[in-house]
Amino acid sequence: MNVKITGTGCYIPSEVETNEDFHQHEFLNDDGSPFKQNTNIIIKKFKSITGIGERRYAKNHHNSSDLGFFAAEKAITDANVNPEELDYIIFAHNFGDVKHSTIQSDMVPSLASRVKHSLRIKNPKCVAYDILFGCPGWLEGVIQAYAFIKAGIAKKCLVIGSETLSRVVDKHDRDSMIYSDGAGATVIEASDSDSGIISHETATYAYDEAYFLYYGKSNNQELCKDTRYIKMFGRKIYEFALTNVPLAMKACLDKSGVSIDGLDKIFIHQANEKMDEAIIDRFYKLHERETPEGIMPMNIHKLGNSSVATIPTLFDMVTKGKVENQEIKKGDVVMFASVGAGMNINAIVYKY
């Protein structure tokens, strides 16, 4: 028995926030002092490093659970399954539902329960729960679904990754330009086909690295010091990712028995274009290979970093022919890999 993805879906909000929209922002250093460079220079440097030109924000009346529901509906339709037959709904996020123009996160009931309610599923044995695992949350949800199915306690699982990061960013922090909103979902099922998950790898580095991403006060010293926003030590995360993610990817590939030349695509968390490119280059250098052209599809340029939603959104777009010059065919072997708050890393080798 194999465990495979039988349906995918994503929801990309229609509200577009371009880099030019940040010209009116007053970016400040951590201590509240102004930057020496003007905002125009900051935005140009940001684009050259991250590759992000625009990002998507959810409509004011939509929350993360709404976005997850929209993506879930598409994945269920794509898989052609009866929602009543789902054994698990696993919802990966980091901040719960944060309503527009508020600062409080709402996680009761769980976002997974909210999606189950919206799907109008009556079956009480469809278990719905959330997972908080940083940006690798959706991928970890897939690994958990795989474990449930392999253990014989589930046959069909719905795994969702959704986030509205636009609601938890500090507008005086230039890192706020990275983040975006979106959702992706997949149906995972037991299958007799030769497609499916071949191997997986997960690790948590928390001894020194736990607080590389954290909740902190605004860079604007005049704002309420008790209000918290998503913050990060960008340089530390960059160095951590370049050192540890390629090693986790190699460990996952070694477990799979697939050769480095047998990989057709790598779907990596859309965090930062230069960082992702450097990770892939180091991964191939570990195998004494040059990085193949076109191995890494990307959509960060227009969609930004939507955390747990980036990989399932990208995978859905590629499988549906919505990423230029990128496709995967039946029998292709792909790798999923992610890194994020915790600090957590995971990877999957998968035969499509």
Q: State both tokens at 62.
A: 């939509």
- State the Cα–Cα distance between residues 185 and 188, nearest whole angstrom: 10
Does the pTM surpass 0.75? The reply is yes
CATH classification (class only), 198-351 = alpha beta
- pLDDT tens for residues 153-173? 999 999 999 999 999 999 999
- State the Cα–Cα distance between residues 267 and 50, nearest whole angstrom: 17
- pLDDT tens for residues 135-156? 999 999 999 999 999 999 999 9
User: Which is more confidently placed, 282 or 38?
Assistant: 282
In Å, how far are 31, 136, 186, 250, 301 from 270, measured between CA atoms?
Answer: 29, 11, 18, 19, 9
Measured at the alpha carbon of residue 95, what is the angle toward residues 89 and 99, in degrees to the nearest 5?
Answer: 100
Total residues belonging to the chain: 352
CATH architecture of 2-193: 3-Layer(aba) Sandwich (3.40)
Answer yes or no: same fold for 2-193 and 198-351: yes
- State the Cα–Cα distance between residues 211 and 10, nearest whole angstrom: 30
- pLDDT tens for residues 261-273? 999 999 999 999 9
- Checking if the pLDDT of 40 tops 90, the result is no
Domain boundaries, the chain: 2-193, 198-351
Q: Concatenated DSSP letters for 14-45?
A: SEEEEGGGGTT---B-TTSPBPSS-HHHHHHH
Counting Cβ atoms within 10 Å, is residue 2 exposed (0-12), middle (13-18) or buried (19+)?
A: middle
**Which amino acid is it at 202?**
T
